[in-house]
């Protein structure tokens, strides 16, 4: 669905918006909808860096603050762990009548297929994942994966450490996209998702996370 059409129709119970600049996409949704998230109890904002199980419970409570009428809950998070997503899934599946959830993430590939399937993915909010920029880690050998990681680590970290982390994010996102398309890889996707979320911590080693992923594929 395109955002231009979203608020012209009767709202569904959950939507996923995605873009690297979360503040921009949130502002765009507020402009199109007329909502001011965080401004009152009918349009609430829940924003965290890392969304955990306790956050899922808090979001459920927000949705139940009003016993009747329409409520809109915006969830903004840079990373959401697999266990937290399973907890959030129940909230999204069984919302109170009239409650609508708006989930804002940097990339939909960080979300489990089960959660994605329970919400409407809003288009024209993302930068497309470039699947040809890096080798397909699912189709090359472990030795080739390690060789490529070592190659880009040497070439990118020397000039700009952030460039290597960005490349690691790109590789993770492509792998998760392909795993998501394979219905039999749900458990593997959950493990890779946990590793991908650690990349949001600037103190983590992007090289070690890539190498760990390479061994788990």
pLDDT per residue of the chain (217 residues) written in tens, 0 to 9? 556 566 656 677 888 888 777 888 888 888 888 888 887 778 899 999 999 999 999 998 888 887 677 889 999 998 898 889 999 988 888 887 888 899 999 888 788 878 887 887 775 444 455 667 889 999 999 999 999 999 998 887 666 767 888 888 889 878 877 877 765 566 787 788 778 877 766 678 889 999 999 999 8
* Correct CATH for 3-121 of 3.40.50.620, 3.40.50.300, 3.10.129.10, 3.20.20.80: 3.40.50.300
In order, the DSSP letters of 55-88 are HHHHHHHHHTSSSSS-EEEEEEEEEE-HHHHHHH
Q: What is the pLDDT of residue 76?
A: 94
Contacts of 177 (CB under 8 A, 6+ apart): 109, 129, 131
Q: What does each C-alpha distance from 196 to 3, 45, 72, 73, 141 come to in angstroms?
A: 27, 25, 29, 25, 21
Q: What is the pLDDT of residue 141?
A: 95
The CB density around residue 214, as the number of other CB atoms within 10 Å, is: 20
Domain ranges of the chain: 3-121, 142-216
Q: What is the pLDDT of residue 7?
A: 65
Q: What is the pLDDT of residue 124?
A: 47
Q: What does each C-alpha distance from 114 to 17, 45, 64, 118 come to in angstroms?
A: 16, 23, 23, 7
Q: Label residue 51 exposed, middle or buried (CB < 10 Å: 0-12, 13-18, 19+).
A: buried
The dihedral through the CA atoms of 91, 92, 96, 100 has a sign that is: positive
Q: What is the pLDDT of residue 211?
A: 95
In this prediction the pTM is 0.60
CA angle 1/109/125 to nearest 5° reads 35
């Amino acid at each position: 669905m395109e955002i231009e059409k979203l608020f012209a129709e009767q709202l569904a119970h959950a939507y996923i918006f995605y873009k690297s600049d979360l503040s921009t996409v949130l502002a765009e949704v507020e402009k199109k909808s007329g909502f001011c998230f965080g401004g009152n109890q009918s349009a609430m904002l829940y924003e965290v860096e890392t969304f955990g199980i306790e956050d899922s419970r808090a979001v459920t409570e927000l949705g139940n603050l009003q016993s009747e009428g329409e409520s809109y809950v915006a969830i903004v998070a840079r990373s959401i762990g697999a266990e937290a997503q399973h907890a959030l899934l129940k909230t999204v599946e069984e919302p109170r009548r009239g409650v609508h959830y708006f989930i804002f993430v940097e990339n939909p590939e960080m979300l489990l297929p089960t959660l994605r399937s329970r919400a409407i993915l809003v288009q024209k909010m993302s930068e497309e994942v470039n699947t040809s920029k890096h080798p397909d880690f699912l189709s090359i050998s472990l030795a080739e994966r390690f060789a490529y990681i070592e190659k880009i680590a040497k070439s990118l970290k020397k000039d700009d450490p952030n460039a290597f982390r960005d490349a690691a994010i790109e590789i993770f996102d492509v792998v998760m996209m392909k795993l998501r398309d394979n219905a039999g890889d749900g458990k593997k996707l959950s493990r890779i998702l946990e590793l991908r979320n650690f990349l949001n911590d600037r103190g983590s080693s992007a090289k070690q996370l890539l190498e760990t992923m390479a061994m788990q594929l």
